[in-house]
Amino acid sequence: MRYFPLFIDLKGRRVLVVGGGEEALRKVRLLLKTEVRIEIVAHELHPELTDLAIGGNIAWVGREFSPALLAGATCVFVAADEELNNRVSEEARKRDILVNVVDEAELSSAIIPAIVDRDPLVIAVGTEGAAPILAQGIRSELETDLPPFLGALTRAAGALRERVADQIPAGNSRRQFWRQFFFGGIRDAFARGSLDFEREVEKAFETGSSEAAEGRVALVGAGPGDPELLTLKAQRKLREADVIVFDRLVGPQILEYARRDAVRVAVGKAPGKHSFTQEQINSILIREAKSGKHVVRLKGGDPYVFGRGGEEQAALQAAGIPVEVVPGITAALGCAAAIGLPLTQRGRNQSFTILTGASEDGIPEHDWRFLAQKNQAFAIYMGVGTAGQTQARLLNAGIDPLTPITIVENGTLSSQRVFEAVIGDLASSIRVNSIEGPAMIYVGLTREQSASIVAFPARKKAS
Ligand code: SAH
């Protein structure tokens, strides 16, 4: 490591900025986050710098640089022409004053990292000048990962430190308190609003010193398959989970977001294979939460859409366990986007229905007459096994046999396959194409015939 990362207290100190253009302005904006006194030397100032000077935020101390201006400065930032860059760098080095010349690592004794600012939490990313674009990219990733309220939460923690030290014994209990604070219920309450926050903090003080940590469960929607369709909240929940209880529909790439030491429990319900009963899943969730774990119940698509999220939620609530629900992109929406299939279109359908093709005892009783009408549009989940019956019921109810259907298998994944046919051929399309993965059946919708939507290469047509 050639450059040592160091946070310098600039309060009450003085820095010099040489140059008055766009680059100088950028440095000044950063410096203004601190309480440093900023002096600037330039022939001309960018209008925004002029405003800052008029407002008294910075001091325009001269047009010409002279070494005397360096006296007493903690550091100097330079964004001028080549000659002046060289000269200021040399004079600063002679005096052992830190110097940063924009885009000139060789002339600089200090370089400015890419910064994520959640003051007082500040993250600095540097590559010793080797790859600024990499540093910027990492910074952007951190920006999206760290919610904006994190700075205020960190400040709130600072305000509680003494009280925690007084009331909660050091060691496990105190660690647990802070974990709850930064990663658990207290943080969630903080994100929601202040009253909730205070209540959660008091609760943690009450239990924190005595009892074991409070476990909780988040029912998290993982989306239809493509990991990029996870929400930011789902990613965070995954990172924070101690235990992840997941379905068959959730792919390994999504589990990559979990911590390495998180316990993973597969409770997949593959059709026709042995699987956990809903009661067994509920009791796993309750048991883990009761032992103080943060549990994520990860479900394909959205937890509330044909996902039995409501039942799990009720069972957990009955057991007194806090539950949170994080929505996901449900398969009917994710698959439609992946293949360019609009779900509503002006002048065609005024509503869009989602149905299940399977229930405990075979095919559910839908209002087939209604569905068979002209201009109805719907998507059938879990409809592969009962496709023949669905087709027969719709035809009996008078649907036009030429009503278009689109079947998407493994939607949003690289194994995605798409078949277009008509309702009269629904069952045979499934049979002929050996559709086996999870599939969405759309009825009454047609794709935009625009060549510009090419979401996945594996696009086939039913023969
Ligand atoms: N909660 C889930 C649905 C679970 S039911 C959600 O909101 O999406 C399981 C059914 O969802 C499957 O039988 C299939 O019809 C559909 N499904 C889930 N993922 C799919 C995918 N990637 N491609 C096509 N259909 C999918």
Confidence of residue 363 (pLDDT cuts 50, 70, 90): confident
Q: How many residues does the chain have?
A: 463
For residues 293-319, give the mean pLDDT.
Answer: 95
Q: What values do phi and psi take at 404, rounded to 5?
A: -70, 145
Instruction: Verify whether residue 461 is a known catalytic residue.
Output: no
Average pLDDT over the chain reads 91
Pocket mutation for ligand 1, best pick of 249, 335, 363, 436 (most atoms within 8 Å of C-beta): 249
Q: What is the pLDDT of residue 113?
A: 93
Instruction: Verify whether residue 400 is a known catalytic residue.
Output: no
Between helix 172-183 and helix 194-208 the angle, nearest 10°, is 160
Residue 463 has pLDDT above 60, yes or no: no
Residue 241 CA, ligand 1 centroid: distance in Å? 24
Q: Mark out the alpha helices in 209-308 (DSSP H runs).
A: 232-240, 252-255, 278-290
First to last CA, the chain: 62
Residue 287 CA, ligand 1 centroid: distance in Å? 28
In short, whether 357's Cβ falls inside 6 Å of ligand 1 is no
For 108-148, what is each residue's pLDDT tens digit?
999 999 999 999 999 999 999 888 899 999 999 999 888 88
**Taking a C-beta distance cutoff of 8 angstroms, is the pair 327, 221 a contact?**
yes
């869009």: which residue's tokens?
352
Any bridge partners for residue 110, and if so which?
A: none
Residue 221 has pLDDT above 60, yes or no: yes
Q: Which atom of ligand 1 is nearest to the CA of 412?
A: 22
Residues in contact with 141: Cβ distance below 8 Å, sequence separation at least 6, in sequence order: none
Confidence of residue 206 (pLDDT cuts 50, 70, 90): confident
In short, whether 408's Cβ falls inside 6 Å of ligand 1 is yes
Between helix 132-145 and helix 232-240 the angle, nearest 10°, is 90
Q: What values do phi and psi take at 402, rounded to 5?
A: -95, 10
Q: What is the pLDDT of residue 207?
A: 77
Q: What is the pLDDT of residue 184?
A: 80
Residue 251 has pLDDT above 80, yes or no: yes
Residue 430 CA, ligand 1 centroid: distance in Å? 16
Angle, alpha carbons 90-92-94 (nearest 5°): 70
Q: Which amino acid is at 101?
A: V
Q: What values do phi and psi take at 338, rounded to 5?
A: -65, -25
From 247, 293, 299, 302, active-site residue: 247
Q: What is the pLDDT of residue 144?
A: 85
Lowest mean pLDDT among 148-162, 258-272, 359-373: 258-272
**Taking a C-beta distance cutoff of 8 angstroms, is the pair 298, 246 a contact?**
yes
Residue 172 has pLDDT above 80, yes or no: no
In short, whether 249's Cβ falls inside 6 Å of ligand 1 is yes
In short, whether 410's Cβ falls inside 6 Å of ligand 1 is yes
Residue 411 CA, ligand 1 centroid: distance in Å? 9
**Taking a C-beta distance cutoff of 8 angstroms, is the pair 20, 49 a contact?**
yes
Left, alpha or beta for 134 (phi > 0: left; psi -120 to 50: alpha)? alpha
Q: How far is CA 253 from CA 140, 221, 225, in A?
A: 21, 15, 9
């592969």: which residue's tokens?
384
Enter the tokens of residue 334.
């994710």
For residues 342-351, give the mean pLDDT.
Answer: 92
Q: What is the pLDDT of residue 452?
A: 45
């000269």: which residue's tokens?
87
Residue 459 has pLDDT above 50, yes or no: no
For 278-297, what is each residue's pLDDT tens digit?
999 999 999 999 988 889 99
Q: Is residue 310 within a helix (H) or strand (E), and if so which, with residue range?
A: helix 309-318
Give residue 155's Cα distance to chain centre: 23
Q: Is residue 368 within a helix (H) or strand (E), and if so which, with residue range?
A: helix 368-372
Residue 453 has pLDDT above 50, yes or no: no
For 292-302, what is each residue's pLDDT tens digit?
888 999 999 99
Q: What is the pLDDT of residue 203?
A: 87
Q: Which amino acid is at 398?
A: G
